[in-house]
Amino acid sequence: MTSQNPVFIPGPTNMPEAIRKACDMATIDHRSSVFADLLHPLRADLKRVLKGDTAEVFLFPSTGTGGWETAITNTLSPGDGVLAARNGMFSHRWIDMCQRHGLDVTVLETPWGAGLPADRIQEALSADKEHRIKAVLATHNETATGVVSDIAALRRALDAAGHPALLLVDGVSSIASMDFRFDEWGVDIAVTGSQKGFMLPPGLAIVAFSPKAMAAVETAKLPRTFFDIRDMAKGYAAGGYPYTPAVGLMNGLRLSCRMLLDEGLENVFARHHRIAEGVRRAAAAWNMPLCAVDASVESDTVSAVRTPEGFDSTKFVSHAAQSYDMAFGVGLGEVAGKVFRIGHLGSLTDAMMLSGLATAEMAMVDLGLPVKLGSGVAAAQDYYRQSLAQQRMAAE
Amino acid sequence: MTSQNPVFIPGPTNMPEAIRKACDMATIDHRSSVFADLLHPLRADLKRVLKGDTAEVFLFPSTGTGGWETAITNTLSPGDGVLAARNGMFSHRWIDMCQRHGLDVTVLETPWGAGLPADRIQEALSADKEHRIKAVLATHNETATGVVSDIAALRRALDAAGHPALLLVDGVSSIASMDFRFDEWGVDIAVTGSQKGFMLPPGLAIVAFSPKAMAAVETAKLPRTFFDIRDMAKGYAAGGYPYTPAVGLMNGLRLSCRMLLDEGLENVFARHHRIAEGVRRAAAAWNMPLCAVDASVESDTVSAVRTPEGFDSTKFVSHAAQSYDMAFGVGLGEVAGKVFRIGHLGSLTDAMMLSGLATAEMAMVDLGLPVKLGSGVAAAQDYYRQSLAQQRMAAE
Amino acid sequence: MTSQNPVFIPGPTNMPEAIRKACDMATIDHRSSVFADLLHPLRADLKRVLKGDTAEVFLFPSTGTGGWETAITNTLSPGDGVLAARNGMFSHRWIDMCQRHGLDVTVLETPWGAGLPADRIQEALSADKEHRIKAVLATHNETATGVVSDIAALRRALDAAGHPALLLVDGVSSIASMDFRFDEWGVDIAVTGSQKGFMLPPGLAIVAFSPKAMAAVETAKLPRTFFDIRDMAKGYAAGGYPYTPAVGLMNGLRLSCRMLLDEGLENVFARHHRIAEGVRRAAAAWNMPLCAVDASVESDTVSAVRTPEGFDSTKFVSHAAQSYDMAFGVGLGEVAGKVFRIGHLGSLTDAMMLSGLATAEMAMVDLGLPVKLGSGVAAAQDYYRQSLAQQRMAAE
Amino acid sequence: MTSQNPVFIPGPTNMPEAIRKACDMATIDHRSSVFADLLHPLRADLKRVLKGDTAEVFLFPSTGTGGWETAITNTLSPGDGVLAARNGMFSHRWIDMCQRHGLDVTVLETPWGAGLPADRIQEALSADKEHRIKAVLATHNETATGVVSDIAALRRALDAAGHPALLLVDGVSSIASMDFRFDEWGVDIAVTGSQKGFMLPPGLAIVAFSPKAMAAVETAKLPRTFFDIRDMAKGYAAGGYPYTPAVGLMNGLRLSCRMLLDEGLENVFARHHRIAEGVRRAAAAWNMPLCAVDASVESDTVSAVRTPEGFDSTKFVSHAAQSYDMAFGVGLGEVAGKVFRIGHLGSLTDAMMLSGLATAEMAMVDLGLPVKLGSGVAAAQDYYRQSLAQQRMAAE
């Protein structure tokens, strides 16, 4: 059922064998001290990965979507104002969730491919004299378009407007792969999952609350039980959980954090940048622009590659899957049929990435796209070997 | 971190190795047809396990608690009436969830150790002339007290009262271990999880809706997104999911269903009864009554054993864990300190169960309880070998 | 295909999960430095387990039988004299191998159940004035009879006779479970395998040579290639192997050594003694004598239990396997049909051992043996809990 | 310790996950019927893979080298004549083994890179009027040079010479990857291992005997015990083994056979040819000749690529390992430093192979070799995609 090839979807990502073995764990008693001995150091490690000394970290047997719901239901009340820019499918879905939970969302429509518009957000906040907006939603990395946004700029926008809204950040496809600074950026809630930068199977939502967000929990009126962090916090204080925890995934996440921290977060980010840059050079060699409008918003975890006008990019993804047993990401929403996506996050080597690029080339040529076999590979090889040589020299 | 001993908590249960290997799966593209090829047969198999031809089955990366939330948020609206009897910790928690979601719960207090009172439920329903009660909650097997209730009797109560309320059943610690008849009993929503009778790690909520429950979804006003079965149903129709599915667990669940169906559900139930009966005979040999008030409500998945007056049963659980590396369940809520629980569900052999009973005896004697070493073991051995001999004879 | 029950054959033994995971390793290049980084520390650890600072340790993708062949073909020449006592099936097989390789074996017939006769060995050596005997074979633990012999006494016998023969010791079912002192006992070659005390799958022969044995290699004329330690030594010196090594098993063995050394060898031996003593007390409660003639030769790794006259012990083993899915060892050779064997070595807990004893009781009662259910279990429980309590007190 | 990259050594090969899981098996009683139920169908499947209806197949916990020793010690006597051509390191080693076992080997020196010289072998056999030659050794695929020889031609040579010598064939790096016809070619003994075409860890020697070879066993005088097929045959007849079998590997081998037979042997061979041909086209694009003297002897499992005069090919292998964490094979013996080897056997996809070629290119450019990045990759891509397109068309 599984392939020997790596996957190049933008998550779930390829899993290191050691992490898979850590997840594949025999049953323990989750009400025993063995569990507490796992839980507390894990939460501490996650704060380090988030660069969030002030954060309270919660883990739910769920996904990033559940993390979003945790963020809004624990801090907001029906009718509360929320401000969000829509620049892709994932920002869209979070907005949709808010609307379905009875929040009053002000949507700033933003071109797909552009980053979140800090200036327009500042404007909207400044205009909100009565502070009806209680939260600003921000998708750090739009997985649909391969666009990373500047969260520090959003914080500056909030501060410049002198607005007390909470800053809620979706870091599902950025955290543990690209720099994320919970404390420094004044993030109030960060949401992520197990299945991207943490290189685990899906099944865990990871949510971090600032002290200000913790304070908002007391007055939030949206109903919640499964995602209620008050139950979770009470459980943690007693070394336990309000229901059955996903122990194996938590054990794997512990190892993942240790691997990330042992490698060094900055090294992890640099590694993602290297791999990503090779992919971008390959796309350039193919004469295919990225969905990202300029280099400043290019994501180091996923690239959305625009295929020529008139070509259905979904065909490429199907053909690569059927003929070469290799998974790339389809375009979603507004860019469906117009882009295909190459995920380059998590556990990847140069060789794995080159196998993805080489296979993409074969599939594109099969479908008549004007791509020269080996051209993108050569561009990536050239970058990989030179950057590696520089690393070696720097290390000497 | 894990022990070589089996666990005897009432779930998560001991996992067969083949199921663990099926869960430990390399990453696949959950938007590809490979996933659809897993999803649809799995949902069909689950209907067989539930004896629910009419059911629509949904799977959430969550737990049984999330399954409860799925049940109520998809069918009820703020202020709706709910009727529930409280006879243990898990019925209590579901009631609490309803209250926190703004439902108007009529609670029938019931002794811990007793089954759900069909007669009083019928009375309450008959009294509700205006049909303000929209749902009856029922915990099929109270894991806290080791008590199984008669769901068919509840259906008769509803019918006798001519009441249109939905019948929502928590089958977390019964389904796949004890007989459960979704269609025949007129269950409207059944909730269970992966980590008990299905012998998987925690992380999946399994929720089945009757056509009547499906109809209620359209008008239900409680906010939900993560647990919204409309998104789920839409995803399934397209062979996909509204967010990232827990593919490995679903792959393991597929194998679990096949193992259960290959063994034959009635054989699975008989096996659980055999193992349970040995435990009950051991408890009798120890002169320790069960929490269950009489034999008619004794659960075949968990036994709550009452320790003598003045003895703190939690000590027993701690001592067994620390000295013998063996996990039993503590008493919860009203019976905390008064009972310890022996889980005997999922994947267990006679030999495994006897190791649990023998270890319990050592721990009890260590703590001064008036138990004769080998006495409970002998009672269970006697039952196990004779019932096995009868099986062999029957098979010849 | 596998059972959830532990096995109670005298090896291969039950494997800790961590060791299985260490063995289950992706392919590496065994000609790279990664392999050397595994090989050398592993050989060093094995010397510690053997208490053999002077030993050269060799690892063959093979079994204990291959280890025997390694011992004789690397040190002896056709026609060389060998002295051996035959007190069970495994000493018999080694003698047979020597004869098939053209060695001149003097066999001291010894009752099955007795230990190796140091006095008669000394006599035979003293009589060999011309030193035609080049090697004395000794089976440290006769797995067929559950008898451990005194290797130090054999060394004294050799010394007293002033005889230069090599002392070749089969420690397959003793090493890593019972005390073994390569240097102190003047052992010249020790042979063992991966699948007993080391708790690994079968597939590795582990053979240690003293300096004197290494010297004998130069003149030994028996043909060998696969088992030639000269090729092996040459490979090791270059960080490699003369052919393809069983890398996964070696990786598992590395972890096994670390686990044994971390626990402390004396603790490992004491643990085996505790578990074994419980089994012996159970056998006494059943009124069934051991094959071992007296307490001084009772093995801490395997007990051969004599069944009553007229009862075919093989039936017991078959019945336990078929009805209870539990594996015990049959009697071999002279004691076939007269004993069954309980392996109690490797990775076992009290609870696991009690499950074996309880199952043995059921099987015996099924077959009409005069055993009281729970009697052996109670005797073992009593010993286990009291000895554990003493350990706890000693630790305080 | 392991890498995420595939290995490109000519074995041990990359293992499919399903096979690894089949090998990673809990302990069973190898004296029970469970083992017999594995053993007999496995031996039957192996005959199918070998195309040897007349063969008796034996499995040793050992390696290919042990398989060679099994072949000669079971059929030959000291002083017997053996005829062998030496055209690479592995034929050399087998010759060396024969000499160390006291056989009288006539060596036909053959250029490394050439196939076995059927004409000279026929000549030598014709000259041996007294039939002093008892066996002809043949290395089907010389792993050191990437050269496959024509075994059918050797059979014709034997027949033409009217010589009764046994035909002993080393198929370690050919069987299960390239066509092998035990019966049709009149092979008397075929030797292989678990770790190449069968895609398992190392640890099993697989040896097949023709009826004529079985007859020779009766008179063969070379000493053997561990490798004695008489003991093995006796064990098999009783559903068992003469010593502890490597059960997990055998379980994995069973799955491997089923996978090979389900795919269809001719499809397996065609798949190997496709992958190999891509590698050869890449080498041609690099302007680097193969060690194989002409296309007729090019191996479909390993290619030995000649590096330019004056360049030390071992450096390439070290650099690829250190800088790119990728394993290629060094040159051995006469071609040490002159070739590097690319293994392309076992479980490989086009994408995996392209990752190997792309990495090789980076490493070569790093070391100053006159290779254009992407050139070999493009040549392989072109071949892979066109041959795949032809397959698709043929299937329609």
Residues of D in contact with A361 (CB under 8 A): 381
The pLDDT tens digits of the residues spanning A262-288 come to 999 999 999 999 999 999 999 999 999
pLDDT of residue C131: 98
Residue that the structure tokens 């267990």 belong to: B348
Q: By CA distance, what is B19's nearest residue in D?
A: D21
The pLDDT tens digits of the residues spanning D71-120 come to 999 999 999 999 999 999 999 999 999 999 999 999 999 999 999 999 99
Q: What is the helix (H) or strand (E) element at residue B236, kind and residue range?
A: helix B229-237
Q: CB distance from D354 to chain A under 8 Å?
A: yes
Instruction: Tell me whether residues C358 and B362 touch, CB distance under 8 A.
Output: no
- Is a pLDDT exceeding 90 seen at residue A396? no
The pLDDT tens digits of the residues spanning B291-319 come to 999 999 999 999 999 999 999 999 999 99
Q: By CA distance, what is D20's nearest residue in B?
A: B21
Instruction: Tell me whether residues C61 and D63 touch, CB distance under 8 A.
Output: yes
Q: Across residues A80-105, what is the average pLDDT?
A: 98
The pLDDT tens digits of the residues spanning A314-364 come to 999 999 999 999 999 999 999 999 999 999 999 999 999 999 999 999 999
Residues of A in contact with D383 (CB under 8 A): none
Bridge partners for C105 per DSSP: C82
Rounded to an integer, what distance in angstroms lies between the CA atom of residue A268 and that of residue C92?
60
The pLDDT tens digits of the residues spanning A57-88 come to 999 999 999 999 999 999 999 999 999 999 99
- Is a pLDDT exceeding 70 seen at residue C250? yes
ipTM of the complex model: 0.97
Q: CB distance from A106 to chain B under 8 Å?
A: no
Residues of B in contact with A321 (CB under 8 A): 29, 32
Residues of C in contact with B382 (CB under 8 A): 373
> What share of chain D has pLDDT > 70, as a percent?
100
Q: CB distance from D21 to chain B under 8 Å?
A: yes
Residues of D in contact with B14 (CB under 8 A): none
Instruction: Tell me whether residues C27 and D13 touch, CB distance under 8 A.
Output: yes
Rounded to an integer, what distance in angstroms lies between the CA atom of residue C253 and that of residue D201?
15
Subunits with 3+ Cβ pairs within 8 Å of C are: A, B, D
Rounded to an integer, what distance in angstroms lies between the CA atom of residue D104 and that of residue B158?
94
The pLDDT tens digits of the residues spanning D38-66 come to 999 999 999 999 999 999 999 999 999 99
Which positions 270-329 of C are in contact with D (Cβ < 8 Å)?
321, 327, 329
> Is-contact D150 D115, C-beta < 8 A?
yes
- Is a pLDDT exceeding 90 seen at residue D3? no
- What letter does residue A333 receive in the DSSP assignment? G
Q: By CA distance, what is A18's nearest residue in C?
A: C21
Residues of C in contact with B3 (CB under 8 A): 349
Residues of C in contact with D20 (CB under 8 A): 24, 26
Residues of B in contact with A76 (CB under 8 A): none
Instruction: Tell me whether residues D223 and C102 touch, CB distance under 8 A.
Output: yes
pLDDT of residue C97: 98
Which positions 363-392 of D are in contact with C (Cβ < 8 Å)?
none
Rounded to an integer, what distance in angstroms lies between the CA atom of residue C247 and that of residue C34?
10
Residues of C in contact with B358 (CB under 8 A): 351, 354-355, 358, 377, 381
Q: CB distance from A251 to chain B under 8 Å?
A: yes
Q: Does residue A170 sit in helix, strand or coil?
A: strand
Subunits with 3+ Cβ pairs within 8 Å of D are: A, B, C
User: Distance from B268 to chain A by nearest Cα, in Å?
Assistant: 21
Subunits with 3+ Cβ pairs within 8 Å of B are: A, C, D
Low-confidence ranges of chain B (pLDDT < 50): none
User: Distance from A191 to chain D by nearest Cα, in Å?
Assistant: 28
Given pLDDT bands bounded at 50, 70 and 90, which one contains residue C3? confident
Q: What amino acid occupies position C314?
A: T
> What share of chain D has pLDDT > 90, as a percent?
98
Q: CB distance from B24 to chain A under 8 Å?
A: yes
H helices within chain C, ranges in order?
17-23, 33-50, 64-73, 89-100, 118-127, 151-161, 211-217, 229-237, 247-263, 265-285, 313-324, 350-366, 375-395
- C-alpha distance across the termini of chain A, in Å: 45
Instruction: Tell me whether residues A34 and B1 touch, CB distance under 8 A.
Output: yes
D42: buried, middle or exposed (CB in 10 Å: 19+, 13-18, 0-12)?
Answer: buried
User: Distance from A102 to chain B by nearest Cα, in Å?
Assistant: 8
Rounded to an integer, what distance in angstroms lies between the CA atom of residue D153 and that of residue D116?
9
User: Distance from B77 to chain C by nearest Cα, in Å?
Assistant: 47
- What letter does residue A8 receive in the DSSP assignment? B
Q: Prior bond to D12 cis, omega within 30? A: yes
Closest CA to D222 of D81, D101, D94, D60: D101
Q: CB distance from A55 to chain B under 8 Å?
A: no
Mean pLDDT over all residues of chain C? 97
pTM of this structure: 0.97
Rounded to an integer, what distance in angstroms lies between the CA atom of residue D20 and that of residue C296?
44
User: Distance from B395 to chain A by nearest Cα, in Å?
Assistant: 34
pLDDT of residue A2: 75
The pLDDT tens digits of the residues spanning D10-37 come to 999 999 999 999 999 999 999 999 999 9
Residues of C in contact with D243 (CB under 8 A): 63-65
Given pLDDT bands bounded at 50, 70 and 90, which one contains residue D142? very high
A130: buried, middle or exposed (CB in 10 Å: 19+, 13-18, 0-12)?
Answer: exposed
pLDDT of residue B2: 75
- C-alpha distance across the termini of chain B, in Å: 45
pLDDT of residue C395: 83
Q: CB distance from C32 to chain D under 8 Å?
A: yes
User: Distance from D162 to chain C by nearest Cα, in Å?
Assistant: 32
Rounded to an integer, what distance in angstroms lies between the CA atom of residue A91 and that of residue D374?
39
pLDDT of residue A1: 65
Instruction: Tell me whether residues D21 and B26 touch, CB distance under 8 A.
Output: no
pLDDT of residue A3: 84
- What letter does residue D15 receive in the DSSP assignment? -
pLDDT of residue D1: 66
Question: How many beta-carbon contacts under 8 Å exist across B and C?
Answer: 118
Q: CB distance from D92 to chain C under 8 Å?
A: no
Interface test with D, best of C8, C15, C24, C27 (most D CBs within 10 A): C27
Q: Across residues D121-136, what is the average pLDDT?
A: 98
User: Distance from C24 to chain A by nearest Cα, in Å?
Assistant: 10
Q: CB distance from C347 to chain D under 8 Å?
A: no
Q: CB distance from C38 to chain D under 8 Å?
A: yes
Closest CA to A68 of A103, A106, A108, A98: A98
Q: Which of C32, C203, C247 sits opposite D327 (nearest CB)?
A: C32
- Is a pLDDT exceeding 90 seen at residue D124? yes
Q: Which of D2, D352, D365 sits opposite A5 (nearest CB)?
A: D352
- Is a pLDDT exceeding 70 seen at residue A12? yes
> What φ, ψ does residue C253 adopt, rounded to 5°?
-65, -35
Given pLDDT bands bounded at 50, 70 and 90, which one contains residue D322? very high
Instruction: Tell me whether residues C223 and D38 touch, CB distance under 8 A.
Output: no
> What share of chain A has pLDDT > 70, as a percent?
100
Half-sphere exposure of A305 (CA within 13 A, CB side): 32
Q: By CA distance, what is D19's nearest residue in B?
A: B21
- Is a pLDDT exceeding 90 seen at residue C1? no
Residues of D in contact with B26 (CB under 8 A): 17
Q: By CA distance, what is D14's nearest residue in A?
A: A4
Instruction: Tell me whether residues B223 and A223 touch, CB distance under 8 A.
Output: yes
Q: Which residues contact B213 (CB under 8 A, 6 or more apart)?
A: B74, B75, B166, B188, B189
Q: How far is the CA of A246 from the CAs of A203, A242, D144, in angstroms?
A: 8, 12, 50
